[in-house]
Structure 1
Amino acid sequence: MKATICGALLALSTLPLLPTPASASRTLKISHQPIEGLVNEDGSIIHYDFLNQRFTEQEASEIDFRRRKRDLSGAGSKRSQRECRDTKQQSDKSGRHHSLIGGVLGGVGGLVGGVLGGVGHVVDGVKDGLTHYVENGWMHDHKFGIVIAKAENEAADNEFLVDVSFGTPGQTLQMVLDTGSPEAWVYSPVCCYGNNHSSFDPAQSLTYLNRTVVDGKAVPAPPGTPGQDFNVAYSSGSATRGYVGLDTFAFEKGKFRVDGLPLALATNLTGSRRGRQMDGLIGLATGSGTQVPGGWTTAFEAMSQRGMLDETYLTATLVKSDRKTGRNGGGQYVFGEVDKTLLKGDVTWSKVLSAFFWAGYVSKINIDGLVLAEGQGNATNPIRFLVDTGSATISMPPVMAKAANAQIYGSYKTDSKKVQLPWLVPCDTGLKKYEAKLPKGQRNKALEITFGTEAFSLPIEDYVFFPQYPVPASEAGGRENMCYSAIQEGLSSFTLLGLSWIKNHVVVFDQGGPSLSERRVGFGKRRDVKYDV
């Protein structure tokens, strides 16, 4: 999700920032549409993951993020499969690339952050507001069915990583947990960027088996049979190709094992991921959303269905990085309970109304007096939402994104094809001294989203995405010190809540018990976040 910003700022005269129109008190009425309608005309499911990739000129016209039809032919894949089985680990683990810019940026898809940490019932230990370890008073007993996955965030809130090990003995990789897609994949030894990413070598795992499909059912492949083809296209235009196997996923430094899960080994990638730290992705949307023949069971579904969790919850409590450096963020994912380490008050629940995604309806979206969406809804201003830990920004229907950015003082939409995302805002947005100098009546107000009767807000400072890296003035209409807005244009049918929203709240995903029948999403306010309303 990182963006390559090329060239120094040109010595152009600073143009005055365009004042934002005063807030208007108006409401846009809208009507319900089934979320199951989030499919392409050919019946394929729109794949919302992968943090918005930098748009090329060709991709710029495809900002609606619709999923491309997948090619499951897998031409040439058997050769790649043999190479992956027979080639030893090629990665240079010491050469992991930590660049904050370059590759993919902003919006649709995936989070697997940090070390899947301890098992937690509190005794007396909290450090920096987050779960501490056993030597400081936390109990660790997997019989409780609670697993804590510590997240690493050293990429300016662009990528939260979790250590997960695969196979026997375990091979540990840095993964993104993605609630916007179901499939899990890792780099294979023959794939891509071996000098700065680690990979999984199936030849070194005693428990690895290739997976094949017989009469429509996924089964372990007989010895010598290659794994079935894997070809997944993402909304950004990137794609992952390879083959599918079965193996063990292990969390919390190998202590919590989930056996026999499908795992794709990537032999080819399109779209630049060289600058990203991730070694793969673990999908946490519903397995029913896959188009891989034979189906897919996610790690979260398996934990829930097998009774491995105390409660069928996954809580994301992600901590934003330092605004100046883009480093020292983190947080955690907790499987098995509502994580209360930073929770302020109660969790507000919203019923999931999609068979494929963590998606439902909001009651209202507004900025001060401007109501972007409310009530029954319509096709232009829908009140449907989708929560995606694999997306960096908040993506709204174009009409709503335009109206929302118009409420941010000095916002500007660039038509340059050299930038990742079109909507820009002043990099100082949300800083006290900057806000104090704005004209009265035009000072920024917080975005609010109401679930049921409870309103949640986005801090004004988080209207800015990647504040450490201003867009060159030459690409911002001559305006200096402009950065990406956290609110961008997406599909016209719903609002996608990515990391810009998630990092400011406690977000709980509930499978509804082992039967996975009553799914819901919960939102809670944070003790460590300063809200502006």
Structure 2
Amino acid sequence: MAVVRAPLCFLLFVLVILYPLAIAFHLPHENPQGPAAHRGKFSNIARRSVTLDLKRNPNYNPNGPAEYARALRKWGAEVPQQLVHSLAAMGDPGGKTGEVDAESIKNDREYLSRVGFGTPLQWLNMDLDTGSADVWVYSTETQPEVAKYHTLWKMEESSTAKKVENGSWMITYGDGSAAWGNIYHDTVSLASITIPNATVESALSAAPPLAGDPDLDGIFGLSYGLPSLTTPPQQTLLSALLPHLESPLFTVDLHHHSSHKPSSYTFGTIPASHHTGHAPLHYTRLIPQAQYWQFAYRGIHVEGQEEWYINPLFNAIADTGTTLMLLSRPTAELYYGSVPGAWRNYTLGGIWTFPCSGYKLPDFEIGLVADIGGVEEAVIAVPGRYMNYSAFTDGTGTCMGGLQEWGYDEFGIFGDVFLKAVYAVFDVGAARIGFAQKVLEPEV
């Protein structure tokens, strides 16, 4: 990773110098899912905005090694063999092949999002995932060994369900695991918004890393411009949703270990009541030809250090479907170098761990690139307490960090560990993403 050491006060200067380059390489481009794609087609559709409050699973018990393996698989990175063997020894489906035995892992989905399918509506718990584009569910077609752990979509009980003849879909992950099945068109409901003839993918089966989460009934993809993985090609649900919205955007407001304030997604508007505090929204354009919510950032800083680390090539995907932050080894070493007693556990494939008590974790800060117009310093801080993802249950008093490394230098994944610290705006129409530092829950 090519980095430049710079004093903290130098960040603004660097952003100013780099800003013309950022604009040069982030020219506006028309989004095939944006307003222009629908101009004049849906003038008779009532446009509105809705908020989905996410119910937090009260039984949520994070499994750090399993989440790390899941994140690596999702993004096509190699899962270390030591981690695979350790998960298999723990009885986790992520370490197995073949059909899943979900009895071995329970309650590992933090947020439950209720989405309605069919006529009359059937309500399923979905993962609203900005890192994928397809909407797929477990159904009465799913193989019994997998289906018995999930609430199923019963297409035969929906008067509006129509099968796409000779249609199929398959999602394959980096380790070769997959889900696959048939394609239907049916009604999908997000609160008061009803989308007719939406593409719903019915799973015939799913490999253990996908099916091993009994709290989850399917994936609801919200990726920026990624096409669906269907044959023949089908319209993504996000594209079908846009004509129903007041504005072509949605917001994400996740909360850390919070029971008094629900996390939420809002579609079609930016609610003033949800944008707490006085921190402004900082927008940055997506990279050219983006399919994911992928944007550039320019620097990182660890609380207590005098210097920023600047790299004009830094970029990351904001992914609600990944729990952790995945960044380069030098970045992880930079952060955990400031944590006394931190070490890489090679028994678990090199996971970064540290003593659970005796030291306050430092904040992790990211320097954002401005969108258009005047350049100002934009820094988002992830509190140190958010960087402690989970504690091991082996009695050693060891914890696992929410920032973990992978094999890409400049490219990273900003998952829920980051998103819980911000109010995020996913602006489809303007091809940009916005973040605001929000008022966070007090440490308990």
Residue in 1 aligned with 2:196? 259
Residue in 1 aligned with 2:285? 351
- Whole-angstrom distance in 1 between the partners of 2:318 and 2:239: 17
Aligned partner (choices 394, 397, 421) of residue 481 of structure 1: 397
Aligned partner (choices 217, 222, 228) of residue 284 of structure 1: 222
Q: Per-residue displacement from partner, 1:80-123 (whole Å, max 9, x unpaired)? A: xxxxxxxxxxxxxxxxxxxxx95569xxxxxxxxxxxxxxxxxx
TM score, norm. by length of structure 2: 0.71
Does residue 247 of the first structure (1) align with residue 179 of the second (2)? no
Runs ≥4 in structure 1, deviation > 6 angstroms? Answer: 28-35
1:496/1:288 CA distance change after superposition, 3 Å: closer
Please report how far the alpha carbon of residue 26 of structure 1 lies from its aligned counterpart in structure 2 after TM superposition: 3.2
Aligned counterparts, 1:492-503, within 5 A: 492=408, 493-503=410-420
SS at structure 1 position matched to 2:240: helix
Q: Is the 2:199–2:235 Cα contact (8 Å) retained in structure 1?
A: yes
Aligned partner (choices 207, 210, 224) of residue 160 of structure 2: 207
Aligned counterparts, 1:500-519, within 5 A: 500-512=417-429, 518-519=430-431
- Whole-angstrom distance in 2 between the partners of 1:416 and 1:246: 46
How many positions carry a matched residue from both structures? 355
Does residue 337 of the first structure (1) align with residue 269 of the second (2)? yes
SS at structure 2 position matched to 1:246: strand
Residue in 1 aligned with 2:103? none
Q: Is the 2:256–2:441 Cα contact (8 Å) retained in structure 1?
A: no
Give the letter for the 1:26 counterpart: R
- Whole-angstrom distance in 1 between the partners of 2:65 and 2:236: 24
Q: Is the 2:146–2:206 Cα contact (8 Å) retained in structure 1?
A: no
Q: Which runs of 5+ in 1 are unaligned?
A: 1-24, 36-50, 69-100, 106-153, 212-220, 222-226, 378-382, 429-433, 436-442, 474-479, 513-517
1:494/1:229 CA distance change after superposition, 3 Å: same
Does residue 389 of the first structure (1) align with residue 320 of the second (2)? yes
Aligned counterparts, 1:15-26, within 5 A: 26=5
Please report how far the alpha carbon of residue 55 of structure 1 lies from its aligned counterpart in structure 2 after TM superposition: 8.5
Coordinate RMSD, CA, aligned: 3.5
Please report how far the alpha carbon of residue 483 of structure 1 lies from its aligned counterpart in structure 2 after TM superposition: 1.7
Q: Per-residue displacement from partner, 1:473-530 (whole Å, max 9, x unpaired)? A: 6xxxxxx211221001134141211001111211110011xxxxx3110101212345
Q: Per-residue displacement from partner, 1:312-346 (whole Å, max 9, x unpaired)? A: 12111112225xxxx77741100011133243232
TM score, norm. by length of structure 1: 0.60
Residue in 2 aligned with 1:22? none
- Whole-angstrom distance in 2 between the partners of 1:444 and 1:53: 20
SS at structure 2 position matched to 1:281: strand
Does residue 168 of the first structure (1) align with residue 168 of the second (2)? no
Q: Per-residue displacement from partner, 1:380-412 (whole Å, max 9, x unpaired)? A: xxx101100000001002222222222223211
The structure in which a higher percent of residues are helix is 2
Aligned counterparts, 1:105-504, within 5 A: 158-189=109-140, 190-191=142-143, 192-211=145-164, 221=165, 227-235=166-174, 237-252=176-191, 255-272=192-209, 273-304=211-242, 306=243, 308-321=244-257, 330-340=262-272, 341-344=274-277, 345-353=279-287, 354-368=289-303, 369=305, 373-377=309-313, 383-417=314-348, 422-428=351-357, 434-435=358-359, 444-452=361-369, 453-467=377-391, 470-472=392-394, 480-492=396-408, 493-504=410-421
SS at structure 1 position matched to 2:147: coil
Give the letter for the 1:365 counterpart: I
Please report how far the alpha carbon of residue 301 of structure 1 lies from its aligned counterpart in structure 2 after TM superposition: 2.2
Residue in 2 aligned with 1:113? none
1:506/1:330 CA distance change after superposition, 3 Å: same
Give the letter for the 1:311 counterpart: S
Q: Which moved more, 1:451-460 or 1:484-493?
A: 484-493
Q: Which runs of 5+ in 2 are unaligned?
A: 8-13, 27-62, 79-90, 96-105, 370-376
